[in-house]
Chains A and B, each alone.
Chain A
Amino acid sequence: MIRLAVASGKGGTGKTMVTAALADLSGVPQVLADCDVDAANLEFLFSPRRLTTTEFRGLATARIDLERCHDCGICADRCRFEAFVRRDDAWTVDALHCEGCGLCTYVCPMGAVRMEPRISGEIYTSTTDRGVLVHARLFPGSGNSGLLVTEVKKRALKLASGADLLIADGPPGIGCPLIATVGDMDAVLIVTEPGISALHDLRRLVTVCRRFNVQIFVVINRFDLADEFCTRIEDYCAEEGIPTTGKIPFDPEVVAAVRSGRPATRIDSPAAKALRALRDNLFIELGLS
């Protein structure tokens, strides 16, 4: 099985659009995973039917038992995350700040602080007409997005035994959730666009991906919006030995497809044609066709 992550560095370059197109066109048994748990959007293009919903427990959160608390303030003193605040003349935990380290339970002389599990989101398994989709929702304000990505991937990998392909729609950036997405993957397809910001972010993402044992591919979205930068991206990829597996033109039909809740490949358009070529090139590179 090939495990493919779609990433971008810069947000909004078209990761989800490309993921949906590949999933739509793949023609092989596959499992889909939406690893952009902060802003999970893949489900809007495949009208999934939800099979299971599971609570996601992130790291535990401190909780003070006021019956036992003698108000000494040692917890607040020792906590490096400023998670203990005064409210109504008593110490309380600000869940947004609590890292879940448990240091407070160790330093409290009264044994008044306990760690309690925190439900930070939900994980779903759904069916679509293009395979099983594992996706999730991080509750706004919860931390642990990297941990949730790891859980989504773990489940998707389990369901993918017997499939030929796992496609993971990744998060923007290069931090914790992205690293959680790229680890254990065979290949990363980076969706970029011709612009100074996207090129800068592409370089940073490639640096991170190089630390993992993954093949890297690039697709340039909206390539015709700035010819000069398109050439610079292609030159950079050539220098780095990264294959440019596709170039998708700017096409209003792409937004129209998203608005109608379908992959861009379901509407006949220049972008759809380019996406089909991307699928073919990439699958040859991956040995899938």
Chain B
Amino acid sequence: MKIAIASGKGGTGKSTVAANLACVLSRSREVALVDCDVEEPNLRLFFPAPAEDVPVTTPVPEIDPDRCTLCGECGKFCRFGALAVLKDRVLVFPELCHSCGGCVLVCREGAVREVRRAVGKVACSSPLPRLVLISGILDEGEVQAPAVVRSAKALAGGHPLVLYDAAPGIACPVITTLEGSDVCVLVTESTPFGLHDLRLAAEVAEGVGIPAGVVINRSDGEDRATIAFCRERGLPVLMTIPFSREIAAVQNRGGLICRDLPRWEERFAGLFAGIARIAEMDS
């Protein structure tokens, strides 16, 4: 089973849910936890362990000036502005390149070839006996987050139970994470911002065709609007985590509430049971 943990709004507690769920599950079975929030990969902070790095590269064009006739075809083809053909040379802006390979194809002189360019890495570690952590890490200043997400997901291929921790938002990196998942857990907080962004995230899960459930985090008891929304959309509320300074303190120092506070191990086991029910109903 592949479980994606997502949210529209940032900072609602995706990583908290992912890290605790993975920790609890790893006590009884093999789990792969994949950090797909490659812009801010924080899961490794909760599971410090020596990691092995696999570089993530994307193909970008390189121009052979001896063959190039400055005809301009490559620059005309590229819709991303990654190639500018000047009077005496071709400028390549690799950070704008989407790696479609079009420039190689349209060059009649064979003057364009592709070279690999690093945009990030995937760090793999085994922080707990039955837990593999696979963290996608985008290099600072790079924009090709989806390429790093894909590499991280690929390295988890074959694991029977995989958790994906998605980036906030509703754009490309999130879609890349959700694709191929069996269930989506949407983590929200019970504020107007949280509800608005939950609505968007639920639309994304629906668009990709994945059944979803909701976790309400940092609840101060004012959850009526969120619960009403979930009921209206047929989204089961799988778990409610109250706001408490104690929980915040554990998280702020990189701890896990399932390990450091009583009763949370059972609650996260219960969350998994709820997720499994959604997957079962869908299949």
Which residues of A come within 8 Å of B, CB atoms? 8-13, 16, 38-39, 41, 44, 59-60, 78, 80-81, 96, 99-103, 106-107, 138, 140-146, 171-179, 193-197, 200-201, 204, 207-208, 211, 225-226, 228-229, 252, 255, 258-259, 261
Contact = CB atoms under 8 A, between A and B. Distances in A.
B77 A102 contact: yes
Given A204-B40, A208-B141, A41 B251 contact: no
Contact of A174 (B138, B193, B204, B252): B138
A39 B102 contact: no
Contacts of A101: 79-80, 98, 100, 102
Contacts of B280: none
B11 A106 contact: no
A179 B143 contact: yes
A99 B80 CA distance: 10
- Residue in B40, B45, B253 whose Cβ sees the most chain A Cβ within 10 Å: B40
B102 to A, nearest CB: 4
Nearest to B249: A226
A195 B251 contact: yes
Contacts of A12: 9-12, 168, 189
Contact of A38 (B39, B138, B170, B220): B170
B33 to A, nearest CB: 15
Contact of B42 (A140, A142, A200, A225): A200
Contacts of B173: 175
Given A140-B200, A204-B40, A225-B249, A106 B102 contact: yes
27 contacts: A11-B40, A12-B9, A38-B169, A38-B200, A39-B10, A39-B193, A39-B197, A41-B193, A41-B196, A78-B101, A78-B105, A100-B79, A101-B80, A102-B102, A103-B105, A106-B106, A138-B170, A143-B175, A172-B168, A173-B39, A174-B138, A175-B138, A193-B252, A197-B251, A200-B42, A207-B140, A226-B252
Interface string B160-177: 000000011111110100
Contact of A96 (B145, B197, B208, B220): B208
Contact of B101 (A60, A80, A142, A175): A80
A225 B40 contact: no
B191 interface: yes
B245 interface: yes
A80 B100 contact: yes
Interface of B: 8-12, 15, 37-40, 42, 45, 77, 79-80, 98-102, 105-106, 138, 140-143, 145, 167-173, 175, 179, 189, 191-193, 196-197, 200-201, 203-204, 207-208, 220, 222, 245, 248-249, 251-254
B192 A39 contact: no
A39 to B, nearest CB: 4
Given A101-B98, A204-B40, A225-B252, A39 B105 contact: no
Contacts of B45: 196-197, 200
A261 B192 CA distance: 8
A99 B100 contact: yes
A259 B172 contact: no
A140 B179 CA distance: 14
A225 B253 CA distance: 11
A25 to B, nearest CB: 20
Contacts of B140: 174, 204, 207-208
Instruction: Please give me the 10 A-B residue pairs with the lowest Cβ-Cβ distance, nearest first.
Output: A11-B10, A12-B11, A38-B169, A101-B100, A173-B39, A195-B252, A172-B10, A11-B11, A145-B171, A196-B254
A197 B16 CA distance: 11
B168 A38 contact: yes
Nearest to B101: A80
A208 B38 CA distance: 14
A11 B168 contact: yes
Contacts of B196: 39, 41, 44
A255 B219 CA distance: 11
Contact of A39 (B138, B168, B172): B168
A10 B39 CA distance: 9
Nearest to A96: B175
A225 B170 contact: no
A234 B180 CA distance: 42
Contacts of B189: 12
Contacts of A174: 39-40, 138, 140-141
Contact of A176 (B79, B101, B143, B192): B143
Nearest to B43: A197
Nearest to B200: A140
